Amino acid sequence: MKRTVPLIISFIVGLVMVGEFFIPHYKYRAVTSELLEWGLILAAGAFILGLVNLVQVNLPVVIQKKEDWGYKLVMLITLVVTLLIGIYSGTGRQDDGEHYKWLFDYMFVPLNATMFALLAFYIASAAFRAFRARNLEATLLLAAAILVMLARVPIGEAIPVVGDYLPKVMNWIMDVPNIAGRRAIFIGAALGAVSTGLRVILGLERSHLGGE
């Protein structure tokens, strides 16, 4: 019973949602919209459970003063402060001059940008490893990367004779082998997605329910 009911629900809801793509009638769309709204309500409700989980995981660490408990304390204080200010500011919380907006603009946005900016250094270190010419494939990757990078910067065009051809070579690399590879991945992934979706809808895949 514990497995049969979810399987029946998966089958019916999955079939109805797949049908949305093939049945344009507004009465049918009303049913699928309703189902999607239920999903949204469930997802919104899960935020409360997420909040409970955050406290459940981090509060005991702070109380027992386990390793790195200070970070958890900062996180919990930030959580409570943001939550209270958000509730206090109400619907106008995103207006200029509001504390919530201030928190967002001067705390969240710079921190977010900092994390994103770190990506540049991570790319540099990953590229250093990936572009080492250890074998034929890595050497090809290195050559393609050098050509594309050179063609994208002004110094590439300034190289005598070669500079005129670099953009054409770059365009060929990006438009032919690159696109061909990406399309192969897309087609394979799309078929894999259809097959996974059908496995779940038809109830062949049950590992998420605890298997046999």
List of residues contacting other proteins (CB under 8 A): 18, 21-29, 39, 42-43, 46-47, 49-50, 53-54, 56-57, 67-68, 71, 108, 111-112, 115-116, 118-119, 122-123, 125-127, 129-130, 182, 184-189, 191-200, 202, 204-205, 207-211
DSSP reduced 3-state for 20: helix
Length of the chain: 212
Give dist(CA 78, CA 72) in Å, integer: 10
Helix 26-63 × helix 69-89 angle, to 10°: 130
Q: Which is nearer to other proteins, 63 or 119 (CB)?
A: 119
**Nearest to other proteins of 131, 163 (CB atom):** 131
Q: Which is nearer to other proteins, 126 or 146 (CB)?
A: 126
Q: Which is closer to other proteins, CB of 3 or CB of 168?
A: 3
- Sequence-distant (6+) residues with CB within 8 A of 204 are 198
Nearest alpha-carbon partner for 200 in 13, 2, 1: 13
CB of 197 to other proteins, least distance (A): 6
